[in-house]
């Protein structure tokens, strides 16, 4: 990962933290249905975009 990738992750996280602090508490952003939709959508979109062998090997890396 190059410097722009690292910088993007750090600045993106910082923007989320600042946005939460401006609007209130973390509890106002915690919703189990939205977390399920986000994580499930991410996992299954990744699954749909690659071959099964590639997706299966992903868990060996993590």
CA dihedral 43→49→53→55, nearest 10 degrees, is -20
Domain that holds residue 10: 3-61
C-alpha dihedral sign at 52, 57, 59, 62: negative
**Alpha helix positions (H), 1-62:** 3-23, 32-49, 52-61
- Tell me: the pLDDT tens digits for 4-16? 888 888 998 998 8
**Which H helix or E strand runs over 51?**
none
Q: Answer whether 15's CB lies under 8 Å from 22's CB.
A: no
If you average pLDDT over every residue of the chain, what do you get? 83
Tokens of 29: 């952003």
Which residues in the chain come in under a pLDDT of 70? 1, 62
- Identify the pLDDT of residue 40: 92
What total number of domains does the chain contain? 1
């Amino acid at each position: 990962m190059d410097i722009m990738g690292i910088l993007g992750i750090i600045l993106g996280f910082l923007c989320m933290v600042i946005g939460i602090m401006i609007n209130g508490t973390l509890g106002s952003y915690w919703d189990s249905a939205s977390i399920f939709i986000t994580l499930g959508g991410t996992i299954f979109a990744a699954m749909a975009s690659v071959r099964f062998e590639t997706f299966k090997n992903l868990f060996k890396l993590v």
